[in-house]
Amino acid sequence: MTLKLTSGASSRHEPTPGQPFAGNIGIVNLARSEAAKAEITVRPLRGNINVLMGSGGNITVLSGHDGKLLVDAGIAVSRSKITTALAAISPDPIRYLINTHWHFDHTDGNQWLHAAGATIIAHENTRKHLSAITRVDDWDFTFPPSPEGAIPAEVFKTDRTLGFNDATIALEYYGPCHTDGDISVELADSDVFLSGDTWWNGFYPFIDYSTGGSINGMIRATEANLAKVTDKTVIIPGHGPVGNKSQLIEYRDMLVDMRDKVAAMKKQGRSLKEVIIAKPSAAYDAKWGRFLIDGSLFTRLVYAGV
């Protein structure tokens, strides 16, 4: 799924304080429209682990004699293509679905996957947001409560360990970072680590201040990720290609540098508009600004948290 939005969608004007980055199109509706057209790509990883790409966030699949366990659910309009991709991996039934956080591009498929047999597991704050009316100001969108079948049935506060298909699956809460409910998923037996949306590989990340996110939280989460992986670990980001530790280090360094530059300008008394005009992201835009968020928008997100 390819999305490229700037501050005004159809225009190139710089964003103003409080302006949603979706412009007049609406990020939620646009993402669902793009997902409906996108193909689902299956990437085999180690052993019985595969990643499905093309419907919102990356979907990880652990298959075997106990059935299938999925991490994240994609966007519901991709149901038929995801079903076909899952069947191509193996005939194993769907048993579990783990949500790394509450955002629609990772949970929109919850209801149909639950109907297909999945018990949904998530952090307690993910269930809180899915159960209530939740506003994301930067998307200019208010989400209604999710249907009962889409609500995680099993939640935890700090960590949870699950044994499935002869693998040990460790779930750990980051604390507030991208949202206030993000978790990591570690498959230590295969040395595979899932960061959820704390890492967007090769792209500026979205930070959801409406539900507890912050730039400092994102940096803390990335440092926690780096402490858990080695040069041999396969790291699955929330968005972007499967990556490795060196790429995660580059991402961390970008976040820290952007935070420090924007914080220094804000401390000098510069307004958001002045900071955006100064282009603190200029050295990074060609690499990191190619997907959903450009340098001006990421600068605004950082400015909000320093």
pLDDT on residue 3: 43
Q: Which of 43, 120, 55, 58 lies closest to 89 in space, CA to CA? A: 43
pLDDT on residue 168: 97
pLDDT on residue 145: 98
Please report, for the chain, the start and end positions of each structural domain, with discontinuous segments joined by +.
Answer: 27-258
Please name the helix (run of DSSP H) or strand (run of DSSP E) that holds residue 222, with its range, or none.
helix 215-228
Beta carbons within 8 Å of 126's beta carbon, 6+ residues apart:
99, 101, 102, 107, 152, 155, 181
pLDDT on residue 14: 37
Measured between alpha carbons, how far is 70 from 60 in angstroms, rounded to an integer? Answer: 6
- Determine the average pLDDT of the residues in 27-56: 92
Whether 15 shows a pLDDT value over 80: the answer reads: no
Whether 1 shows a pLDDT value over 70: the answer reads: no
pLDDT in tens, 138-153: 999 999 999 999 999 9
27-258: CATH number = 3.60.15.10
pLDDT in tens, 168-207: 999 999 999 999 999 999 999 999 999 999 999 999 999 9
Which residue in the block uniquely carries the two structure tokens 């093309």? 54
**Burial of 200 (C-beta count, 10 Å sphere; 0-12/13-18/19+):** buried
Please name the helix (run of DSSP H) or strand (run of DSSP E) that holds residue 235, with its range, or none.
strand 234-239
pLDDT on residue 33: 86
User: pTM for the complete prediction?
Assistant: 0.91
Dihedral of alpha carbons 130, 73, 177, 164, sign: positive
pLDDT on residue 98: 98
pLDDT on residue 25: 60
Which residue in the block uniquely carries the two structure tokens 């939620």? 28
pLDDT on residue 141: 93
pLDDT on residue 176: 98
- Determine the average pLDDT of the residues in 257-275: 98
